[in-house]
Amino acid sequence: MRSAAALTGFASLTLALLPISGATAAPKTAASSCTTPSASARTMSAGVHRRDKNDVSPAQAAALDRELKALLAHRSPISIQATHQIPVYFHVIRTGKGKKGDLSRKRIAQQIAVMNKAYGGSKTGFSFALKGSDWTTNSKWFNAPDTYEKTIKTKLHKGSAGTLNIYTAALSDGLLGWSTFPWQYKSKPTMDGVVIHYSTIPGGSLTHYNLGQSATHETGHWLGLYHTFEGGCDAPGDYVSDTPAESSPAFKCPTGRDSCTASGKDPIHNFMDYSYDSCMTQFTAGQGTRMQKEWAAYRG
Ligand SMILES: [Zn+2]
Question: What confidence tier does 81 reach under pLDDT thresholds 50, 70, 90?
Answer: low
Residue 87's H or E segment, with its range, is strand 84-94
C-beta atoms surrounding 276 within 10 Å: 19
**pLDDT tens-digit series, residues 91-115:** 999 999 999 999 999 999 999 999 9
**Ligand 1 centroid to residue 141 C-alpha, Å:** 22
pLDDT on residue 180: 98
SS (H, E, C) 146-162: CCCHHHHHHHHCCCCCC
SS3 for 64-75 is HHHHHHHHHCCC
Residues with CB under 5 A from ligand 1 (ion): 52, 54
Tell me how far apart the alpha carbons of residues 56 and 30 are, in angstroms, rounded to a whole number: 24
Cβ atoms 166, 130 nearer than 8 A: no
pTM of the prediction?
Answer: 0.85
d(CA 265, CA 282): 14
In this predicted structure, the answer to whether residue 124 has a pLDDT above a threshold of 80 is yes
Residue 7 above 50 pLDDT? Answer: no
Query: Tens digits of per-residue pLDDT, 24-66?
Result: 333 333 232 223 333 343 334 446 788 898 999 999 999 999 9
What does the mean pLDDT of the chain come to? 85
Q: How many CB atoms lie under 10 A from the CB of residue 207?
A: 15
Residue pair 96/102 in contact (Cβ under 8 Å)? The answer is yes
Burial of 266 (0-12, 13-18, 19+ CB in 10 A): buried
Sheet-wide strand order for 126-137: 126-137, 84-94, 164-169, 194-197, 177-179
Res 264 pLDDT > 90: yes
More confident residue, 33 or 263: 263
Q: Would you call 141 helix, strand, or coil by DSSP? A: helix
| Per-residue model confidence (pLDDT) at position 27 | 33
Listing DSSP states for 246-279 in one string gives -SS---S--TT---SSSSS---TTBTTS-S-GGG
CB–CB of 181/223 below 8 Å?
no
CA–centroid distance, residue 103 to ligand 1 (Å): 23
Which residues participate in catalysis according to the annotation? 218
Alpha-carbon gap, residue 195 to 93, rounded angstroms: 11
The CA 158 to ligand 1 mean position distance, Å, reads 23
What separation in Å is there between the alpha carbon of 130 and the centre of ligand 1? Answer: 23
What are the backbone angles phi and psi of residue 178, rounded to the nearest 5°?
Answer: -160, 165
If you average pLDDT over residues 215-244, what whole number do you get? 97
Instruction: Render pLDDT for 154-172 as a digit per residue (tens, 0 to 9).
Output: 999 999 999 999 999 999 8
Q: What is the DSSP letter of 282?
A: B
Amino acid at 117: K
